Amino acid sequence: MQLVIVESPAKAKTIEKYLGSDFKVLASYGHIRDLPPKDGSVDPDDGFAMTWQNYTDKTKQLKAITDESKKATRLILATDPDREGEAISWHVQEVLRKKKALPEKVDRVTFNAITKAAITEAMAHPRALDDDLIDAYRARRALDYLVGFTLSPVLWRKLPGAKSAGRVQSVSLKLIVEREREIEAFVPQEYWSITAQMEQDGQAFDARMTIHEGKKLGKMDLANEGQAMIAKTAVENGLFTIESIETKPLTRNPPPPFTTSTLQQEAARKLGYSASHTMRIAQQLYEDGAITYMRTDGVQMDGSAISAARKAISDRYDASYVPDKPRVYKSKAKNAQEAHEAIRPTSFTTRTVGTGDHAKLYDLILKRAMASQMASARLERTTVEMLDGSGQTGLRANGQVVKFPGFLALYEEGRDDENDEDSGLLPAMAKGDSPAKKSVDASQHFTQPPPRYSEASLVKKMEELGIGRPSTYASIIKTLKDRAYVRIEKNRFFAEESGRLLTGFLERFFDRYVAYDYTAGLEDELDEVSGGRAQWQAILEAFWHDFKPKTVEVMEKMPSEVTAELDIFLEPYLFPEKEDGSDPRLCPRCGEGRLALRGGRFGAFVACSNYPECKFTRRFAQGGGNAAEDEGPQELGVDPDSDEKITKKVGRFGPYVEKGEGKDAKRASIPKDIPAEDFGLEWAVKLLSLPREVGIHPESGEPVTAQIGRYGPYLSHNGKSARLENTLEVFEIGMNAAVAKLADAAKNGGGRGRGKMEPLKIMGKHPRTEEEIKLMDGRYGPYVTDGTTNASLPKTVDKDELTLEEAAQLIDARAAKGPAKKRKKKAAPKKKPAAKKKPATKKPATKKAPAKKTTAKKAPAKKAATSTKAE
């Protein structure tokens, strides 16, 4: 028997079917071991020796692999065809060697697609493990470990509130923070444009003013309304004649098929997918045999795939859409050994795969791959120049006509910022014609700051700078979001307070290690290792030689010293110059003290030097320009019942209200659905009065209360609950509506005295069973249900990005494990006999007591005392 190891159970089933009865295929479920999360797992003093530890949740898989390996005549390592896949194969081999379960013959095979032809071809050409790729993996893993476990303790002690920092993660965060600074520092400039609505032979078109007072008009030349009105009048009074018509042919070539990076960018632009969501769906499409391997820097396609694509094009269109020669694309990847075939369909005759997001992503991949082999698009761009009789005022009209669509008939690449004013059609015109002028508009504009990064533009920028590698972009972005260093609003990244502070700290004390060119250079060095052109320990030694002393130097600083240096370094952001020239550090409350950065238990903040006489504080993230938020704690008034002072404050978890002072003070968070402009004393009193008793339940005689909890507003009655729609409903819901909601929650299910909440989302009908699938928020996290089977969402799946097909697969997988529940139920009674044995141990003890009459009375007393302490 020959044992084949792959990463995914889905792949295992398919591959075993292709290989036949002589092969046993098992999945490792990804990596089986890693560096233990403790200091000392990488030893720089011993040649960067690494201590590996098996994942505890992989015990079952490792046992199955070990047992089968002992019986196998040959071990075939068939994990993914990249650096991480090579590493997993190496780990499996090393673990089996230690367990003395490694067969004499061990081979490595790789395939770019899970099809019978690709797998059969791979099995016919095995090779040995690639030591260079394994060394590159070890170098990256050790480097990331050393940065994390050396730098993070410095952050915890010197920068309160910081969670961690990473080698590439911190540099990516710096990009987002720097863009935030650019936007804040941006000063908009006013400018105007003049547009005339013209008409020729009944067809309307627009012409833009380009000449004013005999001079070429620049974009910013009309700087105010007065100048714009003068220019507008000149156009209104002019009679324009066409001076020239210039027509230029244009050719647009198709883009190459997708790489990992371009797939993430295009899926973000066209489908709105996050990088992690895109890669998760692509992984499933790959495992289903629908597309080739999705982690690649390569843009080339296999010769047979090119032929299949050209045939599919000719079948869908006509021969004119197929170029005379196949298109050949060259990869820009510096490390050719890690560059594989581009992402493409395994069959160009398969038009659709799956449903929902899976179908959309597959369609994108199919069209991009087909378009890459299609004919170029031929366009014609026309520019019409017009002058008035005096020659002092001129207009220009641009138009673009598609003469032959070529690849555009199937696919057009998206752009991050659309700005195309020349795509309109122009009527037929000739030199000397005088088009009719219908109206003239003067439009005011302001220069715009650079846009915040979207996932697509961030990935593109990281790739341009050489930061990280395409296969890591999704995990980098996910880490930034998970650690709350950034947030996403309307598909754009915003730097959070903690992210800005961390970036400032690293720029001040570890500037070299967050420099773009240094990070990119280090990536190139690591690529040299995988290409066999550099020695991995030498690279680590060079890095560690400078990095370790730097962390020691910063660790020796007092926290107050660190804060003081950050106060100076971040001064342009925290205390920008004011328009009136006044001191930006002057306390707005007492008018005497000076503001400075301070460190607190939950992070940095700005405070007055006159503390405790002046208790003005400001959150770090507010910056200095937001005067509306520079008021510190706000006294809202006095509680009408207790006469205690009510204050609005901002804490670690956001704004809240407080009644009273000290330990006895009562506090309540301010829900996000209360508009800031509406919030005042009345709302504060309401929030501090919660929970509110709605009334007595007519059936149980127990009170029904409305309150706000961790997951939002809800009703509570006799240990059961029901979700409310919003904060206002907490104070307005009546008894009849409350009883109905509780009854509805109980009717929908729920256990352990807790009514089932309303669904977070109705996913749709199960594609195979037609049952309605709902996304729910459970006690232990989100889950999906079809009314019969409940399936928890894995930690790697974001509930906001969950697709219908993924939900259905989770339910199917959980339903398939049905018998596992019975085993758990059988195991429970076995504990009961064990519990009954406890009294039996006491009986011998009491029988021994009469043997020594002098101690019989004292012995039980001592045991009783010991028993009481244990309880």
Task: Point out the catalytic residue in the list 273, 293, 411, 473.
Answer: 293
Return d(Cα 164, Cα 141) in angstroms, integer: 16
Structure tokens at 64: 């199955």
Indicate if the alpha-carbon torsion angle 613, 615, 616, 622 is positive or negative. Answer: positive
Tell which residue, 281, 284, 279, has the closest CA to residue 264: 279
User: What's the DSSP call for residue 224?
Assistant: S
Planar angle of CA 415, 419, 420, nearest 5 degrees: 105
H-only helix segments in 288-353: 303-316
Q: Measured over all CA atoms, what is the biggest interatomic distance in the chain, rounded to whole angstroms? A: 132
Could you give the 3-state DSSP secondary structure of residue 541?
helix
Return d(Cα 95, Cα 666) in angstroms, integer: 57
Cα separation of the two ends of the chain: 56
- Residue listed under structure tokens 């005999």: 214
Return d(Cα 267, Cα 695) in angstroms, integer: 52
Could you give the 3-state DSSP secondary structure of residue 238?
coil
- Residue 612: is the preceding peptide bond cis (ω within 30°)? yes
Taking residue 615's Cβ as centre, other Cβ atoms within 10 Å add up to: 13
Structure tokens at 769: 């069973």
Return d(Cα 670, Cα 661) in angstroms, integer: 18
Could you give the 3-state DSSP secondary structure of residue 338?
helix
Q: Which residues pair with 127 in a beta bridge?
A: 108
Return d(Cα 252, Cα 411) in angstroms, integer: 12
Distances (CA, A) of 493 to 248, 487, 585: 40, 6, 29
The DSSP result for 688-753, as a single string, is: HTPSEEEEE-TTT--EEEEEEETTEEEEEETTEEEE-SSHHHHHH--HHHHHHHHHHHHHT---TT
Task: Report which residue type is found at 356.
Answer: G
Return d(Cα 50, Cα 262) in angstroms, integer: 35
DSSP collapsed to 3 states, 759-816: CCEEEEECCCCCCEEEEEEECCEEEEECCCCEEECCCCCCHHHCCHHHHHHHHHHHHH
Residue 293 is among the residues annotated as catalytic for this protein? yes
Tell me how long the chain is.
Answer: 871
Return d(Cα 849, Cα 831) in angstroms, integer: 30
Structure tokens at 191: 């400018």
Looking from the CA of 180 toward its CB, the CA atoms found within 13 Å total 23
Return d(Cα 666, Cα 760) in angstroms, integer: 31
Return d(Cα 623, Cα 601) in angstroms, integer: 20
Q: Which residues pair with 207 in a beta bridge?
A: 196
Return d(Cα 743, Cα 763) in angstroms, integer: 24
Question: Which residues belong to the active site?
Answer: 293
